[in-house]
Structure 1
Amino acid sequence: MPPFVHRRAALRAGLAFGAALALPQARACEYFADNLRITHPWCTATPPGATSAIVSMVFDQVTRADRLVGVQTMVAEGAEIGGHLARPAVDFAIPAGAETHLNAHGTYLKLTGLKFPLEVARTFPMVLSFEHGGVVQATLNVDLQRFM
């Protein structure tokens, strides 16, 4: 083969590699509002007849203090804050410059009025509403127990 064919193939490969580096990296289970990042919204599987589920997630890269003020998902009738800062509505403060956790060991998001049991390895759409950060389309993952 003529040498220019190899140079052309090398040039194409180099351009493809450079383009891949220039594109933003996709990260599993990360969602972004205007002023913060939400990492891995998840809950454990629930037994038949369960009426609620605890949802965990992490908020970080917070550039402006915000509040989680609403949650909607097809798996539950509603949501509330449970644990240390329990309240019968979704109203959770997220301070600027800090990493904030919602998990079963402290304050957590509680889905209420489950419509069906949540099974391991299933995912469901979930909409998170923030006071300043707007609305974020996320995915709720049903996992085995894990430690955050």
Structure 2
Amino acid sequence: MKKSTFITLLFSSALFLSSFANAHDYKAGDLQIDHPWSKAVPPNSSVAAAFFNVTNHGSENDVLISAKSPIAGKVELHAHIHEDGMMKMREVKNIEIPANDGTALKPGANHIMLFNLTKVPKLGERFPLTLHFKNAGEITIEVAVEKATYQMEMKPEKTKEQHH
């Protein structure tokens, strides 16, 4: 075999295998969980959030009931709701995963909050998060800590001068 062919094959194999190493998608029953991630937080932070997409390939709705992680004293399911003209974050009892559809847990919408962090995850690290679904049961996923690529729109408060 020519040296150039061997190097090409070696490089192609490395690329192919590295795509699996970087993938972090999971299956639990009829559910597929894609790209779990968390925004990197300051080293003294006591809270973090986790986000991912859940696709339900089944014919029955499923429900995310709870979550837990060894890096947090408390884990809650949250949603942003529009109340009194403002978006507010609230704990919810569960998150619906419709049949033959999916749900995105993302910033500014449904997501998972981790409180009382016992270890603050750093950029590039991963941490375990166990999800409990009504039908699919329990699955532990690895959440990748990434640099935030989103920015929530914040409206500035009016100053006294703007009230005239």
Short-chain TM bin: 0.7 to 0.9
Moved more, 97-106 or 80-89: 80-89
Aligned twin of 1:87: 91
SS in 1 for 2:42: coil
Of 60, 64, 67 in structure 2, the residue corresponding to residue 68 of structure 1 is 64
Moved more, 76-85 or 64-73: 76-85
Tell me how far 1:40 sits from its aligned partner.
1.3
Q: Counterparts of 1:109 and 1:47 in 2: how far apart (Å)?
A: 18
SS in 2 for 1:110: strand
Tell me how far 1:113 sits from its aligned partner.
1.2
Matched residue type, 2:24 = C
Tell me how far 1:88 sits from its aligned partner.
5.8
Matched residue type, 2:110 = T
Q: Identity, % of aligned pairs?
A: 25
Aligned twin of 1:141: 144
Query: TM-score by structure 2 length?
Result: 0.67
Cα RMSD over matched residues? Answer: 2.1
Aligned twin of 2:38: 43
Q: Counterparts of 1:65 and 1:88 in 2: how far apart (Å)?
A: 17
Of 97, 102, 105 in structure 1, the residue corresponding to residue 100 of structure 2 is 97
Tell me how far 1:96 sits from its aligned partner.
1.0
Q: Counterparts of 2:45 and 2:105 in 1: how far apart (Å)?
A: 20
Aligned twin of 2:154: none
Q: Counterparts of 1:88 and 1:65 in 2: how far apart (Å)?
A: 17
Matched residue type, 1:139 = E
Are positions 1:126 and 2:122 aligned together? no
Q: Counterparts of 1:107 and 1:126 in 2: how far apart (Å)?
A: 16
Q: Counterparts of 1:76 and 1:88 in 2: how far apart (Å)?
A: 18
Q: Counterparts of 1:146 and 1:95 in 2: how far apart (Å)?
A: 27
Q: Which runs of 5+ in 2 are unaligned?
A: 1-19, 82-89, 151-164
Q: Counterparts of 2:127 and 2:43 in 1: how far apart (Å)?
A: 18
Matched residue type, 2:124 = A
SS in 1 for 2:30: coil
* Number of positions where the alignment pairs a residue of Structure 1 with one of Structure 2: 122
